[in-house]
Amino acid sequence: MGHRWDFSSVLANTDALLVGAIGTLHIFAICLVLGLSLGLVVGLGRYSRNGWFYFPATAFVEFFRNTPVLVQILWFYFALPILLPFEISPLAAASLGISLNSAAFSAEIYRGGIQSIEPGQWDGARALGMRWGQVMRRIVLPQAIKRMLPALTNRAIEIFKMTTLASAVAYVELLQQGKLIASLNFNPIEAYTAIAVIFFICLWPLVQLSYLLERRLRRDE
């Protein structure tokens, strides 16, 4: 227990950490947008009664929910390029894996949210002569989004945590930079502690937000 903590070697590498932070935010933004929007498409497919939409969407969801995301990332990085005429960058491989995985999980959130809207809402809107797409966009989704918000916030938190897996294919993000700092300065204790603290500080407000949204939802229903 005699370790003397010394963060000066970490502080001396602030610029490297900054590069890592930008990398983390970059891939987080990509995966958040791709994952949640693709998830809506897949979720609508899962909700559809048309087998041409339902079965592919279901297969997609089952496959990506039931395989580890790290396996998906490594598959896109090492396996997929063999089938393609071009290279796949670490960013592309990690983004693909995390986005598709998140799409599968958020699809189930969208489907659950849409299903939770009473059939009477559909009847009411249909009786006004609205089309399926109009009902969905103007009546059902606005109500469902409120119920889905806590779960979607949780998904965003998971995506943020998953971005660290990109370091496995040497994408430059926070954890990767932590590894670099640790190996150059022989200070793994301070380097990895600093990385853990940074992630905690970034995610803590999001986690609190998800608790708040959950409480508010429970109070309103």
Partner 1 sequence: MYRWDFSPVVANADLLVAGLLNTLKITGTALVFGVALGLVLALLRLSQQRLASWPAGFVIEVFRTTPPLVQLFWFFFALPLIVGIEMTPFMAAAVTFSIQSAAFFAEVFRAGIVSIERGQWEGARAIGMTRSQTLQRIVLPQAVKRMIPAFMERAIELMKTTTLVATISYADLLFAANEIAQKTFRPLETFTVVALIYFVVIFAVSLIARQIERRLAVSGESTVH
Contact residues toward partner 1 (CB under 8 A) are 1-3, 62-63, 65-72, 74-75, 78-80, 82-83, 157, 160-165, 167-168, 175, 178-179, 182, 188-189, 191-193, 195-196, 199-200, 203-204, 207
Taking the alpha carbons of 121, 122, 128, 132 in that order, is the dihedral positive or negative?
positive
Yes or no: say if 174 and 164 are a contact pair by the CB < 8 Å rule.
Answer: yes
Taking the complex as a whole, the smallest distance from the CB of residue 159 to partner 1 amounts, in Å, to 11
Closer Cβ to partner 1, 140 or 175, answer by number: 175
For residue 59, give the 3-state DSSP assignment. Answer: helix
Closer Cβ to partner 1, 22 or 197, answer by number: 197
For residues 74 and 33, give the distance between their C-alpha atoms in angstroms, rounded to a whole number: 21
Taking the complex as a whole, the smallest distance from the CB of residue 133 to partner 1 amounts, in Å, to 31
Taking the complex as a whole, the smallest distance from the CB of residue 39 to partner 1 amounts, in Å, to 18
Closer Cβ to partner 1, 135 or 187, answer by number: 187
Yes or no: say if 101 and 32 are a contact pair by the CB < 8 Å rule.
Answer: no
Yes or no: say if 23 and 176 are a contact pair by the CB < 8 Å rule.
Answer: yes
Closer Cβ to partner 1, 30 or 101, answer by number: 101
For residues 19 and 171, give the distance between their C-alpha atoms in angstroms, rounded to a whole number: 11
Taking the complex as a whole, the smallest distance from the CB of residue 40 to partner 1 amounts, in Å, to 22
